[in-house]
Amino acid sequence: MALRKLVAGNWKMNGSLAALAELDAIAAAAAAHPGLDVAICPPFPLIQAAVQRQPALAIGAQDCHTGTSGAHTGDVAAALIADVGGRYAIVGHSERRADHGEDDALVRAKAEAAIAAGLVAIVCVGETEAERDAGRAVAVVEGQLDGSVPPAGTGATLVVAYEPVWAIGTGRTPSAGDVGEMHGAIRARLQTLLGGEGAKVRILYGGSVKPANAAELMAVADVDGALVGGASLTAEQFVPIIAGAA
């Protein structure tokens, strides 16, 4: 079953108010390709300004807390992200798993909080290079899915992003064959975990997606879009990726 593709940009700890000017051409490209979804996830302080600048473009966050409010200095509740107009929350990105020690249980709790607040949760999974070299890539990702995917997730509330850690920001990508094998394994696991809804959850590929490789990667079976880091920072790079996914 072909699912509606999603191309999401993760600005990480980059951007500024001035950089939101990039959203004008990105929003125009999104409008020109109504057959797919496009989202940009800037740092928290830019979410509201991004929504106000391009209300038709979906804006999201790169993280959220598990709780709804309270004494959690520096954290941001999913409900607040929704309140300022956010529609997505990336959770469990490998940089957060590594930099902040986030484990699968915490990622699942964050995904559940995002969904409860009305956001679409983008749950990230992916193996390290050592795990791939040891022949454990699929087993590692299956384990992350078992621990991170909310059991009540549906095609409307949940997206999974497969991001091999060794491909993020390196310019290296897995072969189309390896991407297809992994996405097929993720699809099978999602159907085990979620039943019929597992067939409807979009599975994004992320890791050094560029204008030059987007169309090839997006054509692989069970690749339902892309999560894009560095190449989402400028319309010059991101717009051709949107076109490549369409």
Binding site for ligand PEP (CB under 6 A): 10, 163, 168-169, 206-209, 227-231
Q: Taking the complex as a whole, how short is the minimal distance between the CB of residue 167 and ligand PEP, in angstroms?
A: 6
Q: Taking the complex as a whole, how short is the minimal distance between the CB of residue 229 and ligand PEP, in angstroms?
A: 2
Distance CA 175, CA 150 (A): 29
Distance CA 162, CA 203 (A): 7
Positions marked active-site: 93, 163
DSSP for 97-139, written as a single string:
HHHS---HHHHHHHHHHHHHTTPEEEEEE---HHHHHTT-HHH
Q: Taking the complex as a whole, how short is the minimal distance between the CB of residue 124 and ligand PEP, in angstroms?
A: 7
Given the complex with ligand PEP, which of 78 and 167 has the nearer CB atom?
A: 167
Given the complex with ligand PEP, which of 184 and 211 has the nearer CB atom?
A: 211
Distance CA 117, CA 196 (A): 23
Given the complex with ligand PEP, which of 4 and 172 has the nearer CB atom?
A: 172
Q: Taking the complex as a whole, how short is the minimal distance between the CB of residue 89 and ligand PEP, in angstroms?
A: 14
Structure tokens at 191: 């159907």
Given the complex with ligand PEP, which of 79 and 144 has the nearer CB atom?
A: 144
Q: Which residue has the tokens 């039943």?
A: 195
Structure tokens at 137: 């890539």
- Neighbouring CB atoms inside 10 A of 170's CB total 12
- Neighbouring CB atoms inside 10 A of 197's CB total 17
Please name every residue paired with 120 in a beta bridge, in sequence order, or none if there are none.
Answer: 88
